[in-house]
Amino acid sequence: MKAPITFREKDHTYTHNVTGERFTSVTTLLGKYKKPFDSDGAATRVAKREGVTKEMILEMWEKEKNRACDRGTEIHKLLEDYITYGDQADDWGWLYKSYDKTRDWNIDKFDKVLCEQLVWSEDFKVSGLADLIYEHKDNTFTVGDFKTNKRYRFGSDFKEWMLEPLDHLSVCEHSTYTMQLSLYAYLYEQMTGKKCRKLVIYYLNKDRFIAYHGNYMKAEVKELLKHFFYNG
Protein backbone atom coordinates (compact mmCIF):
# COMPACT_ATOMS: atom_id res chain seq x y z
CA MET A 1 0.00 0.00 0.00
CA LYS A 2 1.49 3.33 -1.10
CA ALA A 3 1.29 5.84 1.71
CA PRO A 4 -0.35 9.20 0.91
CA ILE A 5 1.70 10.69 3.76
CA THR A 6 5.37 11.68 3.89
CA PHE A 7 7.20 11.67 7.22
CA ARG A 8 10.06 14.13 7.61
CA GLU A 9 12.38 13.02 10.39
CA LYS A 10 14.17 16.37 10.71
CA ASP A 11 11.17 18.12 12.26
CA HIS A 12 9.01 15.02 12.89
CA THR A 13 6.19 16.13 10.60
CA TYR A 14 3.63 14.18 8.57
CA THR A 15 2.42 15.84 5.37
CA HIS A 16 -0.22 14.73 2.88
CA ASN A 17 1.41 14.24 -0.53
CA VAL A 18 -1.47 15.74 -2.52
CA THR A 19 -3.02 18.44 -0.34
CA GLY A 20 0.12 19.45 1.57
CA GLU A 21 -1.89 19.32 4.78
CA ARG A 22 -0.01 18.60 8.00
CA PHE A 23 -1.31 15.61 9.94
CA THR A 24 -1.16 15.46 13.73
CA SER A 25 1.27 12.84 15.04
CA VAL A 26 0.04 10.17 17.44
CA THR A 27 2.42 11.40 20.18
CA THR A 28 1.33 15.02 19.71
CA LEU A 29 -2.30 13.94 19.84
CA LEU A 30 -1.81 12.15 23.16
CA GLY A 31 0.07 15.15 24.54
CA LYS A 32 -3.06 17.26 24.07
CA TYR A 33 -4.83 15.11 26.64
CA LYS A 34 -2.38 15.70 29.47
CA LYS A 35 -2.07 18.77 31.65
CA PRO A 36 1.03 20.78 30.67
CA PHE A 37 4.03 20.13 32.91
CA ASP A 38 4.88 23.20 35.01
CA SER A 39 8.65 23.00 34.54
CA ASP A 40 9.30 26.40 36.12
CA GLY A 41 7.31 25.57 39.24
CA ALA A 42 8.86 22.13 39.59
CA ALA A 43 12.37 23.49 39.02
CA THR A 44 11.80 26.18 41.64
CA ARG A 45 10.80 23.57 44.24
CA VAL A 46 13.76 21.31 43.42
CA ALA A 47 16.18 24.24 43.43
CA LYS A 48 15.02 25.33 46.85
CA ARG A 49 15.45 21.82 48.20
CA GLU A 50 18.92 21.40 46.65
CA GLY A 51 20.18 24.89 47.43
CA VAL A 52 20.81 25.88 43.81
CA THR A 53 19.12 28.19 41.27
CA LYS A 54 16.06 27.35 39.21
CA GLU A 55 18.08 28.01 36.04
CA MET A 56 20.65 25.39 37.04
CA ILE A 57 17.93 22.79 37.49
CA LEU A 58 16.31 23.63 34.14
CA GLU A 59 19.67 23.41 32.38
CA MET A 60 20.39 20.05 34.01
CA TRP A 61 16.99 18.70 32.96
CA GLU A 62 17.52 19.89 29.38
CA LYS A 63 20.90 18.15 29.17
CA GLU A 64 19.43 14.93 30.61
CA LYS A 65 16.56 15.07 28.12
CA ASN A 66 18.93 15.55 25.18
CA ARG A 67 21.17 12.68 26.30
CA ALA A 68 18.15 10.41 26.68
CA CYS A 69 16.82 11.38 23.23
CA ASP A 70 20.20 10.75 21.59
CA ARG A 71 20.48 7.34 23.28
CA GLY A 72 16.93 6.41 22.29
CA THR A 73 17.53 7.42 18.66
CA GLU A 74 20.77 5.40 18.52
CA ILE A 75 19.18 2.26 19.96
CA HIS A 76 16.16 2.52 17.67
CA LYS A 77 18.44 2.79 14.63
CA LEU A 78 20.60 -0.15 15.74
CA LEU A 79 17.54 -2.34 16.21
CA GLU A 80 15.90 -1.23 12.96
CA ASP A 81 19.06 -2.14 10.98
CA TYR A 82 19.32 -5.46 12.80
CA ILE A 83 15.69 -6.47 12.28
CA THR A 84 15.49 -5.21 8.68
CA TYR A 85 18.91 -6.13 7.30
CA GLY A 86 20.54 -8.36 9.91
CA ASP A 87 23.26 -5.75 10.49
CA GLN A 88 25.07 -5.95 13.83
CA ALA A 89 27.22 -3.12 15.14
CA ASP A 90 30.31 -3.91 17.19
CA ASP A 91 29.88 -3.95 20.98
CA TRP A 92 26.08 -4.16 20.75
CA GLY A 93 25.68 -7.93 20.79
CA TRP A 94 23.94 -7.80 24.17
CA LEU A 95 21.22 -5.57 22.68
CA TYR A 96 20.43 -7.94 19.81
CA LYS A 97 20.46 -11.01 22.05
CA SER A 98 18.14 -9.35 24.55
CA TYR A 99 15.72 -8.33 21.79
CA ASP A 100 15.72 -11.83 20.26
CA LYS A 101 15.11 -13.51 23.59
CA THR A 102 12.34 -11.10 24.61
CA ARG A 103 10.67 -11.36 21.21
CA ASP A 104 10.71 -15.16 21.24
CA TRP A 105 9.06 -15.25 24.68
CA ASN A 106 6.38 -12.66 23.92
CA ILE A 107 5.57 -12.64 20.22
CA ASP A 108 3.52 -15.41 18.62
CA LYS A 109 4.88 -16.96 15.43
CA PHE A 110 4.73 -14.32 12.71
CA ASP A 111 4.87 -14.27 8.91
CA LYS A 112 6.78 -10.99 8.54
CA VAL A 113 7.82 -7.95 10.53
CA LEU A 114 7.53 -4.33 9.41
CA CYS A 115 9.88 -1.74 10.92
CA GLU A 116 9.04 1.95 11.19
CA GLN A 117 5.64 1.31 9.63
CA LEU A 118 3.75 4.46 8.69
CA VAL A 119 0.11 4.45 9.83
CA TRP A 120 -2.47 7.12 9.16
CA SER A 121 -6.09 8.20 8.95
CA GLU A 122 -7.17 10.63 6.26
CA ASP A 123 -10.52 11.01 8.03
CA PHE A 124 -9.00 12.21 11.29
CA LYS A 125 -5.78 13.72 9.86
CA VAL A 126 -3.64 11.68 12.25
CA SER A 127 -0.46 9.74 11.48
CA GLY A 128 2.40 7.96 13.22
CA LEU A 129 5.32 5.55 12.92
CA ALA A 130 5.02 2.16 14.61
CA ASP A 131 8.41 0.71 15.56
CA LEU A 132 7.30 -2.85 14.78
CA ILE A 133 4.29 -4.57 13.30
CA TYR A 134 4.43 -8.37 13.26
CA GLU A 135 1.95 -9.84 10.77
CA HIS A 136 0.60 -13.33 11.52
CA LYS A 137 -0.78 -15.79 8.99
CA ASP A 138 -4.34 -15.63 10.37
CA ASN A 139 -4.84 -12.00 9.24
CA THR A 140 -3.91 -10.60 12.66
CA PHE A 141 -0.94 -8.52 13.78
CA THR A 142 1.01 -7.52 16.88
CA VAL A 143 2.29 -3.99 17.50
CA GLY A 144 5.67 -3.64 19.19
CA ASP A 145 7.47 -0.53 20.39
CA PHE A 146 10.88 0.18 21.93
CA LYS A 147 11.15 2.43 24.99
CA THR A 148 14.45 3.56 26.51
CA ASN A 149 13.37 6.21 29.03
CA LYS A 150 14.68 6.34 32.60
CA ARG A 151 11.69 4.74 34.32
CA TYR A 152 8.49 2.85 33.66
CA ARG A 153 5.55 3.48 35.97
CA PHE A 154 2.13 1.85 36.13
CA GLY A 155 0.56 4.73 38.06
CA SER A 156 1.04 8.45 38.62
CA ASP A 157 3.32 9.64 41.41
CA PHE A 158 0.94 12.51 42.14
CA LYS A 159 -2.45 10.94 41.37
CA GLU A 160 -2.70 12.76 38.06
CA TRP A 161 -5.17 11.73 35.38
CA MET A 162 -5.34 12.34 31.66
CA LEU A 163 -7.93 14.73 30.28
CA GLU A 164 -11.41 13.84 29.02
CA PRO A 165 -12.25 11.46 27.35
CA LEU A 166 -9.21 9.66 28.80
CA ASP A 167 -9.73 10.93 32.33
CA HIS A 168 -9.98 7.38 33.71
CA LEU A 169 -6.33 6.74 32.72
CA SER A 170 -3.47 7.57 35.06
CA VAL A 171 -0.68 9.83 33.81
CA CYS A 172 2.16 7.31 33.66
CA GLU A 173 4.33 5.51 31.14
CA HIS A 174 2.21 2.37 30.89
CA SER A 175 -1.06 4.18 30.17
CA THR A 176 0.58 6.56 27.69
CA TYR A 177 2.43 3.83 25.79
CA THR A 178 -0.57 1.52 25.75
CA MET A 179 -2.70 4.30 24.25
CA GLN A 180 0.06 5.08 21.75
CA LEU A 181 0.23 1.47 20.56
CA SER A 182 -3.57 1.21 20.59
CA LEU A 183 -3.72 4.17 18.21
CA TYR A 184 -1.17 2.52 15.92
CA ALA A 185 -3.19 -0.69 16.04
CA TYR A 186 -6.48 1.01 15.27
CA LEU A 187 -5.03 2.98 12.35
CA TYR A 188 -3.42 -0.15 10.93
CA GLU A 189 -6.69 -2.06 11.28
CA GLN A 190 -8.50 0.63 9.30
CA MET A 191 -5.77 0.62 6.63
CA THR A 192 -5.49 -3.13 6.14
CA GLY A 193 -8.62 -4.84 7.44
CA LYS A 194 -6.43 -7.01 9.68
CA LYS A 195 -7.15 -7.40 13.41
CA CYS A 196 -4.88 -6.54 16.31
CA ARG A 197 -3.81 -9.55 18.34
CA LYS A 198 -1.44 -8.04 20.91
CA LEU A 199 0.48 -4.92 22.05
CA VAL A 200 4.03 -5.40 23.33
CA ILE A 201 6.19 -2.65 24.83
CA TYR A 202 9.92 -3.47 24.86
CA TYR A 203 11.32 -1.49 27.77
CA LEU A 204 15.12 -1.36 27.92
CA ASN A 205 15.92 -1.59 31.63
CA LYS A 206 19.68 -0.91 31.78
CA ASP A 207 21.06 -3.77 29.66
CA ARG A 208 18.05 -5.99 29.04
CA PHE A 209 14.58 -5.73 27.59
CA ILE A 210 11.48 -6.28 29.67
CA ALA A 211 8.26 -6.91 27.73
CA TYR A 212 5.13 -5.22 29.04
CA HIS A 213 1.83 -6.17 27.46
CA GLY A 214 -0.85 -3.54 27.03
CA ASN A 215 -4.57 -4.06 26.59
CA TYR A 216 -5.82 -2.92 23.20
CA MET A 217 -7.94 0.10 24.16
CA LYS A 218 -9.99 0.29 20.97
CA ALA A 219 -12.99 1.96 22.61
CA GLU A 220 -10.76 4.69 24.09
CA VAL A 221 -9.11 5.26 20.71
CA LYS A 222 -12.49 5.75 19.03
CA GLU A 223 -13.59 8.23 21.70
CA LEU A 224 -10.28 10.07 21.53
CA LEU A 225 -10.35 10.44 17.74
CA LYS A 226 -13.97 11.59 17.81
CA HIS A 227 -13.20 14.15 20.52
CA PHE A 228 -10.13 15.39 18.61
CA PHE A 229 -12.09 15.62 15.34
CA TYR A 230 -14.79 17.84 16.85
CA ASN A 231 -12.66 19.82 19.30
CA GLY A 232 -9.22 19.94 17.68
User: Domain boundaries in the chain?
Assistant: 7-36+92-231, 37-89
Q: Is the pLDDT of residue 39 over 90?
A: no
Q: Is the pLDDT of residue 37 over 90?
A: no
pLDDT at residue 232 in the model? 76
Q: What is the mean pLDDT of the chain?
A: 95
pLDDT at residue 167 in the model? 97
* 123 vs 146: CA distance, rounded Å: 28
- As a whole-number percent, the residues of the chain with pLDDT over 90 amount to 85
pLDDT at residue 1 in the model? 74
Q: Would the pTM count as exceeding 0.85?
A: yes
Which among 149, 141, 147, 232 is positioned nearest to 186, based on CA atoms?
Answer: 141
> Worst-scoring range by mean pLDDT, 25-29, 149-153, 181-185, 190-194?
149-153
Paired with 15 in beta bridges are 6, 22
